[in-house]
Amino acid sequence: MRLPEPITLSDLANWLGVSYAGNADAPVTGINEIHKVVPGDLTFVDFHKYYDKALNSDATFIIINKEVPCPEGKGLLFSDDPFRDYVRLTKRFRPVEHSLTPVAPDAQIGAGTVLYPGVYIGPNVTIGENCVLHPNVVVYGHAVISNNVIIHANTVLGSDAFYYKKRQQPESYFDKMHTCGRVVIEDDVEIGAACTIDSGVSGDTVIRKGSKLDNHIHLGHGVVLGERTLIAAQVGIGGKTVVGNDCIFWGQVGISKTLHIGDNVTVLAQSGVGNDLESGKSYFGSPAIEARKAWREMARLKKLAAGE
221 is annotated as an active-site residue: yes
Which whole-number Å values give the CA distances from 190 to 112, 114, 207, 264, in the listed order? 16, 14, 10, 19
For residue 287, is the peptide bond before it cis, meaning its omega torsion is within 30 degrees of 0? Answer: yes
Q: Which is catalytic among the residues 134, 216, 221, 260?
A: 221
Which whole-number Å values give the CA distances from 192 to 137, 199, 246, in the listed order? 11, 18, 18
Helix, strand, coil % in the chain, rounded to nearest 5: 15, 30, 55
Q: Which of 144, 30, 5, 159 lies closest to 86, judged by CA?
A: 30
Q: Using CA atoms, how far apart are residues 54 and 203, in angstroms rounded to an integer?
A: 16
Alpha-helix residue ranges (DSSP H) falling in 33-140: 51-55, 82-93
Question: Could you give the residue numbers annotated as active site?
Answer: 221
